[in-house]
Amino acid sequence: MKILPFCGTIYNPAKFENLTDIIAPPYDVITPAERRFFINRSPVNVVQLILGDQKNGDYFEESFYTDAARLFNQWCHDEILIRLEQPAIF
């Protein structure tokens, strides 16, 4: 197996000194109440990307993924997220 570095996408450290409001546990352990808690904590909490707005109670609808992609692209455009210039192993 070969492991290669890549240019990752991270929250912009110039905009976020404290990561507490924008990070969350893995998506599969977050309850609906915790999801609301994290979204209320910050409009740019990672939960917005990994769980988003649950429209029909189904995270596997195509709109879920297209909405997440749209939000990801918007956050990149707004420099909430930035792509690292140097490849790294995460």
Phi, psi of 44 (to 5 degrees): -115, 25
d(CA 68, CA 10): 16
Domain extent at residue 48: 9-83
Give pLDDT, residue 88: 96
What is the pTM for the complete model shown? Answer: 0.83
Residue 41 in any domain: the answer is: yes
E strands, 1-90, in order: 9-11, 81-83
- Position 65 pLDDT exceeds 90: no
Count of structural domains, the chain: 1
Residue 4 in any domain: the answer is: no
Residue 90 in any domain: the answer is: no
Residue 80: CB partners within 8 Å, gap ≥ 6? 11, 12, 15, 44
Give pLDDT, residue 52: 78
Residue 2 in any domain: the answer is: no
pLDDT tens-digit series, residues 17-63? 889 999 999 999 999 999 999 999 999 999 999 997 665 555 566 78
Residue 22 in any domain: the answer is: yes
Residue 61 in any domain: the answer is: yes
Q: Is 61 left (phi over 0), alpha (psi -120 to 50) or beta?
A: beta
Give pLDDT, residue 60: 61
Give pLDDT, residue 63: 80
Residue 33 in any domain: the answer is: yes
